[in-house]
C-alpha cells in the first residue's frame, strides 16, 4: 500500500482516484469542490484540508487540473505564495495527468528536479467511461526509470501506457490526439445531422458508418446524437463527459504549438473556430459532442 495524494477530482480525476483506492492504496484527496471530495470519501479516501495537507507523507502525487495556469500555480506558486513543490518530500513521484502546454510541464519538471522530486507528464485519453473502467490510455513524458516507477500506479487507472519521450512529450501527443478528436467529432456530427435532415434513423445511419470507411471513435463509443449510445453524454443532456470549453482549450494548445513549429493544421484551426462559436453560444459547460446542436436543422 502506498500513500497517494490526488489533487483535482473532476469528471476524470474523481474516477481515477477511486481506482487507486480500489487497488488498495491510501488515497488522500483535495479539490476546491467539497462535493467532489465527499464522493471520494464515500469510496474510502481521506479528505485533505488543502493541497499542502494532502501531500504530507505521500510517496506519490497525482494531479488532474484544467489548464496550464492551474498546474503552474499549484506546483510553483502564485502572487508570492509558495508552490506545492516546497511541501513535497524529496524523492516523491509526481504524476501530472492534466492536459497542458508541453512548455509548462518542462518548466515544472525542471523546478521539481532541482528539489529532488520526479515529475512526469501523463495526460490521458479514453473519456469518463475509460476513467471509471480503469481503461484509460496514458501518454507519458518521462525518463525510462521514471516511467518504470510510475507504471504500478498508471496500470491501476489505465489499460494502455505509451512512453512518448522525455518530459513534455506526453502533452504533445495528447494535443495531437485531441485535435484529431475535435475534428472527428465535428465531421461525425455533420454527417449524422445531414442524414437525419433527410429522414434517416440516427441509430441505423451511425451503425452503417461505424461499419464502413467512416468508422471512428465517436461512432463507436461516443455518439453525439441523443439516444444512440445509452451511456454517452448526448443521452444525458450532454452533461458530464469532456466539456466544450476543455476541447476548445486543447484545440488552442494545438494551434499555439502549430504556430511555434510552423506546422500546417487547417482542419484543427477550423475545428477550434467551430468550438469557439459553440462556446460563445452558451454551450461551454456541455460535453463537446453537443457541437452537433449548431449543425442540426432546426
Which tens digits make up the pLDDT trace of 46-73? 999 999 999 999 999 999 999 999 999 9
What is residue 72's predicted lDDT score, i.e. its pLDDT?
97
- In sequence order, what are the beta bridge partners of 93? 60, 118
Cell reading at 53: 495537507
Catalytic site positions: 174
Percentage of the chain beyond pLDDT 70 is: 100
Q: What is the mean pLDDT of the chain?
A: 96
Q: What is the pTM of this model?
A: 0.91
pLDDT at 51: 97
Among 51, 46, 77, residue whose Cα is nearest residue 63: 51
Contacts of 230 (CB under 8 A, 6+ apart): none
Contacts of 80 (CB under 8 A, 6+ apart): none
Average pLDDT (31-50) is 96
**Tens of pLDDT, residues 160-212:** 999 999 999 999 999 999 999 999 999 999 999 999 999 999 999 999 999 99
- Of 225, 231, 191, which is closest to residue 208 (Cα–Cα)? 191
Once rounded to an integer, what is the mean pLDDT over residues 4-30?
97
pLDDT tens by residue, 98-145: 999 999 999 999 999 999 999 999 999 988 889 999 999 999 999 999
pLDDT reported for residue 128? 85
- Predicted confidence (pLDDT) at residue 25 exceeds the cutoff of 80: yes
pLDDT recorded at residue 240: 85
H helices, E strands: number in the chain: 12, 11
Please name which of 242, 233, 239 lies closest in space to residue 181, comparing C-alpha atoms: 242
pLDDT of the residue at 119: 98
pLDDT at 297 over 80: no
3-state secondary structure of 125: strand
Contact in structure between 107 and 75 (CB atoms under 8 Å): no
- What pLDDT score does 9 carry? 97
Residue 198's Cβ-side half-sphere holds a number of Cα atoms within 13 Å equal to 7
Q: What is the per-residue pLDDT for 227?
A: 97
Residues contacting residue 227 through CB under 8 Å, at least 6 positions apart: 202, 203, 234, 235
Tell me how far apart the alpha carbons of residues 152 and 160 are, in angstroms, rounded to a whole number. 12
pLDDT in tens, 239-288: 988 999 999 999 999 999 999 999 999 999 999 999 999 999 999 999 99
* pLDDT at 127 (0 to 100): 85
Q: What is the mean pLDDT of residues 210-224?
A: 96
Amino acid at each position: 500500500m502506498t500513500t497517494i495524494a490526488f489533487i483535482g477530482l473532476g469528471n476524470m480525476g474523481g474516477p481515477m482516484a477511486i481506482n487507486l483506492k480500489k487497488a488498495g492504496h491510501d488515497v488522500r484527496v483535495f479539490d476546491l469542490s467539497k462535493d467532489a471530495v465527499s464522493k471520494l470519501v464515500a469510496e474510502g479516501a481521506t479528505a485533505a484540508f488543502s493541497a499542502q495537507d494532502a501531500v504530507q507523507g505521500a510517496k506519490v502525487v497525482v494531479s488532474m487540473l484544467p489548464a496550464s495556469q492551474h498546474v503552474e500555480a499549484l506546483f510553483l506558486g502564485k502572487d508570492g505564495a509558495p508552490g506545492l513543490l516546497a511541501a513535497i518530500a524529496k524523492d516523491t513521484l509526481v504524476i501530472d495527468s492534466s492536459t497542458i502546454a508541453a512548455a509548462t510541464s518542462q518548466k515544472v519538471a525542471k523546478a521539481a528536479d532541482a528539489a529532488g522530486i520526479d515529475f512526469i507528464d501523463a495526460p490521458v485519453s479514453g473519456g469518463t467511461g475509460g476513467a471509471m473502467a480503469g481503461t484509460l490510455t496514458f501518454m507519458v513524458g518521462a525518463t525510462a526509470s521514471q516511467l518504470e516507477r510510475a507504471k504500478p500506479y498508471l496500470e491501476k487507472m489505465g489499460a494502455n501506457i505509451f512512453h512518448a519521450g522525455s518530459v513534455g512529450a506526453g502533452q504533445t501527443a495528447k494535443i495531437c490526439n485531441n485535435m484529431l478528436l475535435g475534428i472527428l467529432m465535428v465531421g461525425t456530427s455533420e454527417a449524422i445531422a445531414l442524414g437525419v435532415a433527410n429522414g434517416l434513423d440516427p441509430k441505423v445511419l451511425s451503425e452503417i458508418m461505424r461499419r464502413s470507411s467512416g468508422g471512428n471513435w465517436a461512432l463507436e463509443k461516443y455518439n453525439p446524437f441523443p439516444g444512440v449510445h445509452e451511456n454517452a453524454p448526448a443521452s444525458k443532456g450532454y452533461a458530464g463527459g469532456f466539456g466544450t470549453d476543455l476541447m476548445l482549450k486543447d484545440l488552442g494548445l494545438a494551434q499555439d504549438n502549430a504556430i511555434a513549429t510552423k506546422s500546417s493544421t487547417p482542419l484543427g484551426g477550423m475545428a477550434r473556430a467551430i468550438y469557439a462559436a459553440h462556446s460563445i453560444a452558451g454551450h461551454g459547460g456541455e460535453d463537446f459532442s453537443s457541437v452537433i446542436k449548431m449543425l442540426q436543422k432546426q
